Structure 1
Amino acid sequence: MKRALVAMSGGVDSSVSAYLMKKNGYDCVGCTMRLYENNMIGEDMLSTCCSLKDTEDARSVCNKLGIPYHIFHYENLFQQEVIENFVSCYELGLTPNPCIECNRHFKFNHLYDKMRENDCEYIVTGHYGRIEFNEETKRYELKKAVDLTKDQSYVLYTMTQDQLAHTIFPLGGYKKSEVREIANENEFKNAKKHESQDICFVPDGDYVGFMERYRNKKYPEGDFVDLDGNFLGKHKGYVHYTIGQRKGLGIAMGYPAYVVDIDAKENKVVLGKNEDLFTRTLEADHINLISVPDLYEERHIKAKIRYGMVEQAATVKQISEDKIVVTFDEPQRAITKGQAVVLYDGDIVVGGGVITSTVRE
């Protein structure tokens, strides 16, 4: 009997994943990764991801399924590899995606060590995505989920061939409504549990407040400037702003003003008009290619530059071992440094990388 380590958050998706794996004949071990102490983020132990309630819910499901349950502690590593990266990126004027970093370092790296320690062959998570082996190319492929409204392939693009070979996403072929129905049928106590839409360690959405507590400092005020560098007014600290932001600027321009660039070194925030946000070309590094070994030959694909958008037609070319250039057929709004660009061929994830720069036309 094949053995699987099931990552369980206490939510309905991971619970149903564990149920489906056991139903399909796998010897399952449930586990929760404890990533931070709640006092680290100014929250009590009964709220947020990694709370006592979540671990109790995960343990309850495991008990109901008759499978063992473990809690693995990664608080120090999570602080070093995800939280520190998150804060440092904002301090550099970037907009990070901590969910991607968590997947890269924890669910599909550190948890693999636990998979082997527990004599398991597979990691199982409640992500909405699909993994298939392509007999023609002899490569594992990451594909979009059947339920496109829940598809999480964007945040999974960092997975390697070895990781894909030892990972199962049981929910890839299900719709969310079907998953909740399975949970109800099995009387899981978390069947109606709401999903968190926030960054797990910033549950109130106030990332600057979190950063100030984490660094024990206040970020200083600076200058708003226009595209020519002319002074427009004072801002409350560049970390408060992201590319494309309009609300909360607190400055009258005579026309709708948007954040079009952030100069972290000079503590300046560049404002412009909506049309100033549109660019066609970006560069990305920290690339990971899944369906192909390289992209040195220019290729027409589709790409998305943020989680919630529909991918757009573009051309991609690899220009070095760890860098790609993506040029969209049509200008895209608010391409943001620090976010991921993920490449698609139909429902197949070609690969992706972290946006480092854009070319203003």
Structure 2
Amino acid sequence: MSSKHRVVVGLSGGVDSAVSAWLLKQQGHEVIGIFMKNWEDDDDSEYCSSRQDWLDAASVADVIGIDIEHVNFAAEYKDRVFAEFLREYQAGRTPNPDILCNAEIKFKAFLDHAMRLGAEKIATGHYARVRHNPATGLHELLKGLDPLKDQSYFLHRLSQAQLARTMFPVGELLKTEVRRIATEIGLPNAKKKDSTGICFIGERPFREFLNRYIQKAPGPIRDDRGREIGQHVGLSFYTLGQRQGLGIGGVKEVGAAKGGGEHAPWFVARKDVPGNTLWVVQGHDHPWLLSPELEAQDASWVAGEPPAPGVYAAKTRYRQADAACTLVTAGPSGFALTFEEPQWAVTPGQSAVLYDGEVCLGGGVIHGASATRQPVPSVPPVAMRRGRRRVVPSSNA
């Protein structure tokens, strides 16, 4: 017979956390709702949904029959997440603030607050699962059962202490089942659209948001022959693999000269921060966009220590199928991976997350990735050294 707990649920205003709270109450737990306000710089903006989300969360709590508290974590968020977000972009990298938000806010500040309320467990609407392994005595982070909604990638920095106190009620369900339950029990947000994008940016244009915090520093755009074909507005405003918004779609003579056809699309291939140069290539499968290996830093391992070198799978971005790889080296602070098939647009600042089947082992922040073909002499790469290995990064940071 399962034990009953006092569980504090993070109610976001969305359907996943709402159904999570209902499921826990049905199981006999004492459930308390918490709505986390993490951003308030432009709370009255057309892009910020915080006010409506709070109203939705309160309505859900009323229908389910639980208490709910509004808690403001905006100061913690700005110090622990947003400041790091800006530092990474200013360094030419592309961070994933949602991963840091989970580690620093939802499973740290929120967890601490819940413990002060006497909670034994916390719960969120993430599509993931926690399993205790009696053989090792460790808590394992598992993928959610819905392969289209699995969010273990965003949770890979959670520790044993955090997982021991965490429940993911919808991790065992498909999204369609969650929607069905919400409709059947009459939740007011049963048909609410899933939130997308970075929480503090909302649906606003990304470059418009960054303009408020990062100064523009224009510089040359060069192709893989070293020819200047345009001007960028600042390296912080671009990411590897980016196709839209480059302002070079009309450069026909360059594309034709390369033999790829004058209409072949351009992609960001690398960013030279010291030289303030944006390098672009034509064609989705250009060798500069394909990396057979990567190195990651700032590693975080769910078990508290790195796994043994060997064959695993990895994701280098969220919306990506698992890619077969070999963990070459791994330590408490970093690791190196090689892939069976080169990976597309491996981006410094994003996270490489390692899996052993359905078990998420942890991951780290991508620091550099080698290209399948070395740059031609007219495009001298900025190399960095890791002991005896030489890696040509897709971004110099």
TM-score (norm 1): 0.93
Runs of 4+ in structure 1 deviating by more than 4 angstroms, as ranges, are 227-230
Q: Post-superposition shift, 1:179?
A: 0.8
**Residues 224 and 280 of structure 2 are in contact (CA less than 8 Å); yes or no, is this contact kept in structure 1?**
yes
Aligned pair partner of 2:235 in 235, 238, 245: 238
Partner of 2:45: 43
Deviation at 1:119, TM superposition (A): 0.3
- Could you tell me whether the CA contact under 8 Å between 2:287 and 2:371 is conserved in 1? no
Please tell me whether the aligned partners of residues 208 and 239 of structure 1 are also in contact (alpha carbons under 8 angstroms). Answer: no
Q: Is the 8 A contact 2:305 2:332 kept in 1?
A: no
Aligned residues: 354
| Local SS of the residue matching 1:302 | strand
Aligned position for 2:37:
34
- Give the conservation status (yes or no) of the 8 Å contact 1:199–1:205: no
Q: 1:224 aligns with which of 218, 221, 225?
A: 221
Contact kept, 8 Å, 2:196 with 2:203, in 1: the verdict is no
Separation in 2, partners of 1:221, 1:123: 46
CA offset digits 1:209-246 (Å, max 9, x no partner)? 1122235x4x0211112446553332222222111123
Query: Alignment identity in percent?
Result: 37
CA contact (8 A) 2:5 2:30 kept: yes
Q: Which residue of 2 aligns with 1:208?
A: 207
Q: Shift of residue 344 of structure 1?
A: 0.8
In structure 1, the gaps of 5 or more residues are none
Residues 160-212 of structure 1 show CA distances to partners (whole Å, capped at 9, x for unaligned) of: 01111100000011111111111111111111111111212112342221122
Q: After TM superposition, give the deviation of residue 357 of structure 1 in Å.
A: 0.8
Q: Which runs of no fewer than 5 residues in structure 2 stay unpaired?
A: 373-397
Q: Which amino acid aligns with 2:318?
A: Y
Q: How far apart in 2 are the matches of 1:229 and 1:337?
A: 22
Q: Does 1:276 align with 2:288?
A: yes
Give the Cα–Cα distance (whole angstroms) in 2 for the partners of residues 106 and 99 of structure 1: 10
In structure 1, what is the equivalent of residue 267 of structure 2?
258
Bigger radius of gyration? 2
Q: Which moved more, 1:176-185 or 1:166-175?
A: 176-185
Return the offset for 1:291.
4.7
Whole-Å separation in 2 of the counterparts to 1:140 and 1:320: 20
| Pairing of 1:30-109 with structure 2 (within 5 A) | 30-37=33-40, 39=42, 43-44=45-46, 48-49=48-49, 51-109=50-108
CA distance in 2, matches of 1:265, 1:27: 56
Q: Distance in 1 between matches of 2:52 and 2:330?
A: 48
Tell me whether 1:112 sits opposite 2:121 in the alignment. Answer: no
Letter in 1 for 2:149: K
Deviates more, 1:19-28 or 1:314-323: 314-323
In the alignment, the residues of structure 1 paired with residue 281 and residue 94 of structure 2 have an alpha-carbon distance, to the nearest angstrom, of 19
Q: Which residue of 2 aligns with 1:340?
A: 351
Report the counterpart of residue 141 of structure 2 in structure 1.
Answer: 142
Question: Are 1:3 and 2:6 matched, yes or no?
Answer: yes
CA RMSD of aligned residues (A): 1.8
Counting only pairs closer than 5 Å after superposition, residues 126-141 of structure 1 correspond to structure 2 as 126-141=125-140
Matching of residue 310 in structure 1 with residue 321 in structure 2: yes
State the match for 2:160 in structure 1.
Answer: 161
- The Cα offsets for residues 79-132 of structure 1, whole Å up to 9 and x where unpaired, read as 122222222211111111111111011111111111210000111000001110
Residue 355 of structure 1 is matched in structure 2 by 366
Q: Distance in 2 between matches of 1:214 and 1:269?
A: 21
Q: 1:327 — aligned with what?
A: 338
Q: Distance in 2 between matches of 1:277 and 1:117?
A: 48
The one-letter code matched in structure 2 to 1:355 is: I
Alignment CA distance shift 1:248-1:64 (3 Å): closer
Partner-residue secondary structure (3-state), 2:190: coil
Correspondence 1:289 to 2:301: yes
Match of 1:301 in 2: 312
Bigger drift between 6-15 and 179-188 goes to 179-188
Structure 1: how far apart are the matches of 2:217 and 2:304? 45
**Partner Cα separation in structure 2 for residue 16 and residue 288 of structure 1:** 30
| Whole-Å separation in 2 of the counterparts to 1:28 and 1:93 | 43
CA deviation map 1:290-343 (0-9, x unaligned)? 257323x42100011000000111001334430100111111111000001111
| Conserved 8 A contact 2:309-2:330 | no
Cα shift at 1:70: 0.5
Q: Which amino acid aligns with 1:203?
A: G
Partner Cα distance (1:203, 1:303) in 2: 28
Structure 1 residue 276: Cα displacement? 1.6
TM-score, structure 2 as length reference: 0.85
Q: What SS is found at the alignment partner of 2:132?
A: strand
Query: C-alpha distance in 2, partners of 1:144/1:173?
Result: 9
Structure 2 Cα separation of the partners of residues 25 and 279 of structure 1:
50
Offset at residue 278 of structure 1 (A): 0.7
